[in-house]
Amino acid sequence: MTMPNLPHPDDERLAAYAGGDVDAIADPSLVAHLSACDRCRPLVNELSLLRGALAELPDVAPSRPLRLVPPVPAPAAAPVGWLRRLTAPAMATGAALVLVGAIGVGATSGIGGLFGQAASGIFANVGDNLQGAGAPESEATPSDNAYVPGVKGSPAPSPSETRGASVDSSSPSQPPTARFSPEPAPGGSDPTEYANRDSSDEQPWLTLLIAGAGIFVTATALRFTISPRAG
């Protein structure tokens, strides 16, 4: 029996009813309409049957063999990750050593002296003063620079400052001769010895500075070469 005078519910509402939507099946006006409407009841019935058929659609065999075993994490990951985690503290340690070394060098030679020596070092004979094997030029310059050509025995202002620093420190000021190397360099170049004497004060600090820079550079390089994925 059709109900021509009664407006049909929205079709989406009927689809909701067919799917068992709680709102729809508990709606008395919708239920009443369906019990009487020959247009809507078959539609709901058909939608219900359609839904039942959808729920039976079978599983589908894969078109190609699937990888079923989960991938094993790479065994190298753990140690590399462990190494990578060490780089941050190593970088910090290196930076701290550089700082301490720089302060030490500054204190022993005097910052002004450093620059003064750098200026005079341009004229210095670098070749005869490579006492620190493998030391970068920049670190070699302060000792280099102590040598002022033609002024034997009275080196540039910096040595005097260095001596002043030596006096301040607990170690007794020693006469310059005490620090002369036993074997004078060929040609008996005194200035080299002066330079050696100066550098002997700065040597531990320089070593510290160089070692710190080495650690920092190595740790930084490691950090950026090891893949973060490995951790």
Partner 1 sequence: MPPRDPANPASRTAPLADEEAVIARAANGDRAAFTQLIEHYQSACYGLAWRLLGDPDQAADAAQDAFVHAYDAIAKYRGGLFRSWLLRITANASYDILRRAQRKPTTTLPDAEEGEAELPDRSAADPEAEAGRSELYRYLDAALRRLPEDQRTAVVLCDVYGMDYGEVADATESALGTVKSRIHRGRLRLRELMADHRELFLNERRLDR
Positions touching partner 1 (CB under 8 A) are: 11-13, 15-16, 18-19, 21, 43, 46-47, 49-64, 66-71
CB atoms < 10 A from the CB of 151, how many? 12
Q: Which CB sits closer to partner 1, 54 or 178?
A: 54
Closest approach of Cβ 63 to partner 1, in Å? 4
Distance CA 27, CA 210 (A): 84
Beta carbon nearer to partner 1, 1 or 61: 61
Q: How far is the CB of 227 from partner 1 (least distance, A)?
A: 20
Give the Cα-Cα-Cα angle 134, 210, 172 (nearest 5 degrees): 100
Provide the CA 158 distance to its chain's centre, in angstroms. 39
Judged by CB, which is closer to partner 1: 67, or 186? 67
Least distance CB 19 / partner 1 (angstroms): 7
Neighbours of 121 (CB within 10 A): 24
CA distance linking residue 102 with residue 21, whole number of Å: 78
Q: Looking at beta carbons only, is 45 or 169 nearer to partner 1?
A: 45
The whole-angstrom separation of Cα 181 and Cα 163 is 18
Q: How far is the CB of 69 from partner 1 (least distance, A)?
A: 5
By C-beta, is 41 or 223 nearer to partner 1?
Answer: 41
Q: How far is the CB of 55 from partner 1 (least distance, A)?
A: 6
Quickly list H helices, the chain. 11-18, 22-25, 28-36, 40-54, 77-109, 111-121, 137-145, 157-168, 190-225
